[in-house]
Amino acid sequence: MTTRVQRIRTAIAAISAGLCLVISGSLLAAVIVASLVLVLPALLSTPVNRDIEILQAFDRWVRLLVGSVSTGKSLPDAVRATQHQVAPLLRRPVSQLIARFDARWPLDHALRALADDFASPDADAVVAAMVVAARRGGTGITSSLRALGDHTRHRLKSLREVETERAKPRMVVRQVTVITLAVLAGVAVLNPEYMAPYRSPVGQLVGALLFAGYLCALLMLRRVARPRPRERILQGGLLAAPVSEVDDA
């Protein structure tokens, strides 16, 4: 289902293409203008980094759990106590986790199911450490969760630094795109004869190829800027080996 923003953008693209066709008489220019309105914002926008969103949510939750278990609560009781304080991203998964506790799932299995809800290596690492902390019990769970919180914050800081570096080339591309479009629009208005060769069939074909090449370059940039998928730590509910690795660390 299209959103309101998409409908508005489509209407603006249609109006802009119609005006461009009337003013310039070039079908290619009208198609390019419509494509720019529809596609360019998405290609030049900053992609959502799901890893950072997930880690931010877990970082906040771990800090809440540390405060709760410090009062003597078990991990399941701490999860229940912090249910309404977690980030929106975690509200439904935590509610499902509590439902598994209420259904008398073993703690390990309930936490593994939580990791499967996210299918994220970072979520797997946090959940594996939580399982280790729960197995230790007593005062060990508090120190384990605090160590987990320190690791999560360090990982989150590293991800944010990487994301900052990735944002720099996107900013340059935005600036180059805006300048290029402004120059082309100015030339088309102030010196229409300069754009006359692109009104011929061959010129329109060349213009279409140039425009398609530019869009492909933006797509490649966006693909390169996305975080590479990583293998999960927890696969198919099997946690024995990864937990031993985390425990040894």
Three-class secondary structure of residue 123 per DSSP: helix
Give the range among 46-50, 59-63, 114-118, 147-151 with minimum mean pLDDT.
46-50
State how far the Cα of 145 lies from the Cα of 39, in Å rounded to an integer: 44
- Give SS3 for 238: strand
Contact 63, 149 (CB under 8 A): yes
What gap in Å lies between CA 180 and CA 17, rounded to an integer? 19
Paired with 235 in beta bridges are 238
- Domain 50-160+238-248: assigned CATH number: 1.20.81
Two tokens at 106? 């073993």
Nearest to 112 by CA among 124, 129, 99: 124
List CB contacts of 173: < 8 A, sequence separation 6 or more.
44, 218, 221
Residue percentage of the chain with pLDDT more than 70: 91
- Tell me how far apart the alpha carbons of residues 148 and 133 are, in angstroms, rounded to a whole number: 9
Residues 6+ apart with CB under 8 A from 227: 49, 51
**144 contacts 15 by C-beta, under 8 angstroms:** no
Residue of 79, 48, 76, 43 lying closest to 211 (CA atoms): 43
The mean pLDDT of the chain is 81
Instruction: For residue 34, give the amino acid letter.
Output: A
Answer whether residue 95 shows pLDDT above 90.
yes
- Ranking 4-13, 94-103, 206-215 by mean pLDDT, the lowest is 4-13
Residue pair 243/132 in contact by the 8 Å Cβ criterion: yes
Which pair of tokens denotes residue 73?
Answer: 């609560």
3-state secondary structure of 131: helix
| Residue boundaries of the structural domains of the chain | 4-48+170-225, 50-160+238-248
| CB contact at 8 A, 222 and 43 | yes
Q: Which residues pair with 238 in a beta bridge?
A: 235
**Residue 96, pLDDT score:** 92
d(CA 194, CA 248): 70
Q: Please check the confidence at residue 242 and state whether its pLDDT lies above 60.
A: no
Mean per-residue pLDDT for 169-179?
A: 85
CA distance 117 to 99: 14
Q: Which two tokens stand for residue 191?
A: 């010196």
